[in-house]
Amino acid sequence: MYAYVVHAVQVYKKETDRVHRKVVRYTITTDKQSANPAAHCQNSLNYRANTLQVAKAAANSVTDCIGLKPKKIEVVKMIPPEPLYKLVSATGPFVRLAALSGATAVILGAYGSHRAYPKEAQGQEQKRLFEIASRYHFIHTLALFGLPMCRMPFVAGTFMMSGIVLFCGTCYYYAFTGDKSYSKLTPIGGTCLILGWLGMVI
């Protein structure tokens, strides 16, 4: 550190001597051209410019010896934001699946609401199950749109889609045919729907 300071002082002394020599030359030139105001003004400007250059050189020498370096300004390039549909598509095909599920729910809902059910107790039971299936189908279709915002969308999406197929699908089948062959799968589908909602919590 002491050697750096000594070197800086020597550099500063050298630059000062050079400025002194320029001042002497400037004084002699001014005495000779005092009768010419334009030349005197030009010499004054040259003297000030030379003084600034010498001061800058001396300051740079001192900072180089000490080890100080000016901070570099980092230019950060602004990246244009990605379109929302690309960000959503990167997490999986859940938006498309939700769209297909919604279209299917509308078609089945229109068919089931215009279909004639038997007036017996079984017919009323079929109509009730159709309404339950349609309601759950629409609700969980909307839930599919929120899967891209989850931490583990594939886990929640797998359970959600399985629940829609097993729960709503078996209810639709019984409501339209009166056949209870696949009714045993309905509780499994309901469990999948519950796990799908819990998967969105993770």
CA angle in degrees (0–180, nearest 5) for 182-187-101: 75
What burial letters (b/e) apply to 25-56, b meaning 16+ CB within 10 Å?
A: ebeeeeeeeeeeeeeeeebeeebeeeeeeeee
pLDDT tens digits, 47-104: 555 565 655 665 666 566 655 565 667 777 777 777 766 776 676 788 899 999 999 9
Burial category of 176 from C-beta neighbours within 10 Å (exposed 0-12, middle 13-18, buried 19 and up): middle
Look up the pTM and report it. 0.58
Per-residue pLDDT tens, the chain, 202 aa: give them: 545 445 555 655 666 666 556 555 555 555 555 455 555 555 555 655 556 565 566 566 656 665 556 566 777 777 777 776 677 667 678 889 999 999 999 999 999 998 888 888 888 999 999 999 999 999 999 999 999 888 888 999 999 999 999 999 999 999 999 999 999 999 999 999 999 999 999 8
User: What per-residue confidence (pLDDT) applies to 5?
Assistant: 47
